[in-house]
């Protein structure tokens, strides 16, 4: 699983900082998470084959999280895309994108499928045999969801040493991989668990932006391998959090600690601060395994 | 009058090329012409004080000409703008911008005034004592206008040598500047035209993008100092012009020649071409005073 930060700053795009967008590569999927203005250029700069994106997840309808989407949808049309594009986002996103396409008489020549969200409870919004995606209801000024991306448990792996030890015939390997017992040369039946190894632990990633401090999300993101939690402010600006419904770096760290996540990544920084290191310094005493998102940075999970 | 090219490429934004946008500084106005995705970043990169923009002119509702507008409107809000912003563009632009603001519950705290256009004839859309702006109806796949920006004739200028020659008293200077006759020391009345000089010739700029070859515009843009005319294609791709309703470099040059403009600037290039010089080489034999638009380039008129 690989996460590329395309943009991790709040509010307005600037010469060297981009609004929120991330690309998650997970079990052959390319999931785009949020799409601030300039996202398609960021995708090009990172040399990502972005025509492979089939699912776009939009947390909320503030401009810094989705004003790059109309352009991306149009670019896919110009590039001759034929495959479906699925867009998951708050109710209203379909009307917005559809209106812009209508005004430009620029309907897509590929299927554009909207999955509008309005539940206040966490819900499963995407699932196949390898991956699931659930919403994480957040607390922001407008209806907002984070997203939990989870790999599914892969099949058990054949234990090469064990099958050799019991002299199991190769013709049985497929059945054993599918969970069946095996037959030793002696005729004895061998339990599947004695012939296979546990598959790699499935990985998980939780994206939580934008939100005020919200402890309710802790059970939803428990033990994830990577948590991206917004930290728009430092504690010195904590008084701005209630009105703007954003979090401080220490609040993000407290959520990470309570949820016992493996690693925390901070982002959605206000551009008022001179150094991003200040965010890390504030979070680290509370939760030590913390890193800073930066535009273009890649996290291997 | 100064024209800054913020973006001059057609279709999709790329790492090093931007879709259409220009900033025209004319008699203390800052007029923004079209606003493709990324325009606000381009304004920052050029270090233009873009909060001074009060009038935005949108030619048509294809994404590469206006998908940067919602973000710019939002940025003005975040920067605490209080002064009016006027947006001139095709019918539908108000609904689009209003819907996006509504979905984000992000109404502007400054007056946002739309002037929707739907006339097929040229019309006066802005005028004050120094400048006028008229539409130039173009021929594109959707309803599209170019814009003609004209300085008005400034007042006549006091002729310092003449007033000295006739020993005119300083107390009369204001009246003379306002067109009145003067009185020589001898008591003789002196014609205003003998005491003043012609003001500088008013300058004019015509923006014409996107359009197929359209000779009807020639009378509207006759003798302008600067004509920006799109040249999406070279003649080798002329067969694409009819379907896409774009022009070749040689067609742009023919328009410039017929309109007897002073200078032609080409732009809105398809990104299929390796070198922009090809556009200039094609246009120059037809109209010699031709230059190439490039992102970030400034034309002093």
Q: What is the pLDDT of residue A97?
A: 98
B230 and B119 together in one domain: yes
A187 and A238 together in one domain: no
B17 and B109 together in one domain: yes
A253-292 pLDDT, tens digit per residue, is 999 999 999 999 999 999 999 999 999 999 999 999 999 9
Q: What is the pLDDT of residue A12?
A: 85
> Touching check for A141 and chain B: CB below 8 Å?
yes
**CA separation, residue B271 to residues A23, A78, A234, B13, B17 (Å):** 26, 12, 44, 10, 9
> Touching check for B91 and chain A: CB below 8 Å?
no
Residues in Cβ contact with B115 at an 8 Å cutoff, skipping those fewer than 6 apart: B86, B87, B88, B89, B125
CA angle B109-B115-B118, nearest 5°? 150
Pairwise CB contact (< 8 Å): A71 & B79: no
**What residues of B act catalytically?**
64
Pairwise CB contact (< 8 Å): B40 & A12: yes
Distance CA B232, CA B266 (A): 9
| pLDDT of A15 higher than 90 | no
Which region holds residue B262: left if phi is over 0, alpha if psi is between -120 and 50, else beta?
alpha
Last residue of a domain, one of B197, B226, B260: B197
> Touching check for B184 and chain A: CB below 8 Å?
no
Of B38, B63, B99, the CB nearest to A95: B99
CB-based burial, A62-71: b 16+ in 10 Å, e otherwise: bbbbbbbbbb
Which residue range(s) make up the domain with B279? 2-154+200-300
Of A14, A96, A141, the CB nearest to B103: A96
A17-64 pLDDT, tens digit per residue, is 999 999 999 999 999 999 999 999 999 999 999 999 999 999 999 999
DSSP for B221-284, written as a single string: TTT-SEEEEE--B-GGGGGGHHHHT--BHHHHHHHHHHTT-SEEEEE-B-TT-S-THHHHHHHT
Domain count, chain B: 2
A99-111 pLDDT, tens digit per residue, is 999 999 999 999 9
Mean pLDDT of the A6-25 span: 94
Q: Which CATH number does the domain housing residue B82 bear?
A: 3.60.15.10
Q: Which chain B residues contact residue A87 at CB under 8 A?
A: none
Distance CA B4, CA B32 (A): 10
> Touching check for B89 and chain A: CB below 8 Å?
no
A63 and A178 together in one domain: no
Cis peptide before B210 (omega within 30 of 0): yes
Last residue of a domain, one of A175, A197, A219: A197
Q: What is the pLDDT of residue A49?
A: 93
Pairwise CB contact (< 8 Å): B44 & A104: no
B162 and B150 together in one domain: no
Res. A202 pLDDT band, cuts 50 70 90: very high
Q: What is the pLDDT of residue A155?
A: 87
Of B12, B63, B78, the CB nearest to A12: B78
The answer to whether residues B12 and B64 touch, using CB atoms and an 8 Å cutoff, is: yes
B189 and B85 together in one domain: no
B149 and B210 together in one domain: yes
Distance CA B255, CA B249 (A): 10
Extract the tokens encoding A179.
């969970």
Pairwise CB contact (< 8 Å): B105 & A74: no
| pLDDT of A252 higher than 90 | yes
The answer to whether residues A134 and A122 touch, using CB atoms and an 8 Å cutoff, is: yes
Query: How close does chain A come to B144, measured CA to CA in Å?
Result: 11
Of A40, A41, A63, the CB nearest to B106: A63
Q: Which chain A residues contact residue B14 at CB under 8 A?
A: 41, 44
Q: Mutating which of A7, A10, A11, A12 best tests the B interface, going by the most B Cβ atoms within 10 A?
A: A12
Q: Which residue of A has its CA nearest to B100?
A: A96
CB-based burial, A217-250: b 16+ in 10 Å, e otherwise: bbebbeebbbbbbbbbbbeeeeeebeebbbbbbb
Extract the tokens encoding B132.
């006028």
Q: Which chain A residues contact residue B106 at CB under 8 A?
A: 62-63
A162-189 pLDDT, tens digit per residue, is 999 999 999 999 999 999 999 998 899 9
Q: Which residue of A has its CA nearest to B16?
A: A41
| 3-class secondary structure, B29 | strand
Give alpha helix (H) positions in chain A: 39-45, 63-66, 69-78, 93-103, 160-165, 173-177, 192-195, 241-244, 249-258, 277-283
B238 and B164 together in one domain: no
Mean pLDDT of the A133-139 span: 98
Last residue of a domain, one of A137, A170, A197: A197
**What residues of A act catalytically?**
64
Pairing of strands B85-90, B55-57: parallel
Q: Which chain A residues contact residue B75 at CB under 8 A?
A: 11-12
Q: What is the pLDDT of residue B13?
A: 85
The phi, psi pair for A219, rounded to 5°, reads -60, -30
> Touching check for B92 and chain A: CB below 8 Å?
yes
Residue ranges of chain B with per-residue pLDDT less than 70: none
Q: Which chain B residues contact residue A79 at CB under 8 A?
A: 12
A115 and A71 together in one domain: yes
Q: What is the pLDDT of residue A295?
A: 96
Q: What is the pLDDT of residue B167?
A: 93
Q: What is the pLDDT of residue A11?
A: 84
A192 and A210 together in one domain: no
A13 and A59 together in one domain: yes
CB-based burial, A121-158: b 16+ in 10 Å, e otherwise: ebeebbeeeebbbbbbbbebbbbbbbbbbbbeeeebeb
A213 and A96 together in one domain: yes
| pLDDT of A123 higher than 90 | yes
Closest by CA to A264, choosing from A286, A246, A240, A242, is A286
Q: What is the pLDDT of residue A13?
A: 85
Average pLDDT score over chain A? 96
Q: What is the pLDDT of residue B48?
A: 94
Of B37, B61, B142, the CB nearest to A68: B37
């Amino acid at each position: 699983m690989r996460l590329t930060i395309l943009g991790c700053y709040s509010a307005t795009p600037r010469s060297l900082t981009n609004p929120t967008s991330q690309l998650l590569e997970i079990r052959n999927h390319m999931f785009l998470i949020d799409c601030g203005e300039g996202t398609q250029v960021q995708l090009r700069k990172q040399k990502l084959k972005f025509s492979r994106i089939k699912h776009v997840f939009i947390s909320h309808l503030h401009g810094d999280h989705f004003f790059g989407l109309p352009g991306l949808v149009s670019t896919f049309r110009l590039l001759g895309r034929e495959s479906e594009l699925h867009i998951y986002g708050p109710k209203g996103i379909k009307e917005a994108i559809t209106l812009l396409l209508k005004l430009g008489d620029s309907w897509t020549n590929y299927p554009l499928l909207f999955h509008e969200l309005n539940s206040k409870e966490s819900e499963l919004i995407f699932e196949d045999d390898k991956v699931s995606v659930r919403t994480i209801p957040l607390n922001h000024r407008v209806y907002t969801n984070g997203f939990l991306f989870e790999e599914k448990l892969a099949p058990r792996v054949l234990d090469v040493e064990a099958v050799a030890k019991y002299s199991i015939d190769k013709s049985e390997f497929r059945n054993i991989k599918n969970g069946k017992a095996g037959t030793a040369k002696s005729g004895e039946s061998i339990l599947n668990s004695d012939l296979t190894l546990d598959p790699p632990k499935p990985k998980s990633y939780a994206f939580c932006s934008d939100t005020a401090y919200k402890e309710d999300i802790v059970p939803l993101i428990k033990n994830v391998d990577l948590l991206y939690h917004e930290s728009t402010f430092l504690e010195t600006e904590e008084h701005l959090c209630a009105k703007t419904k954003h979090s401080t770096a220490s609040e993000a760290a407290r959520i990470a600690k309570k949820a016992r996540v493996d690693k925390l990544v901070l982002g959605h920084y206000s551009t008022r601060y001179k150094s991003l290191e200040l965010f890390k310094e504030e979070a680290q005493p509370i939760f030590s395994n913390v890193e800073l998102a930066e535009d273009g940075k890649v996290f291997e999970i």
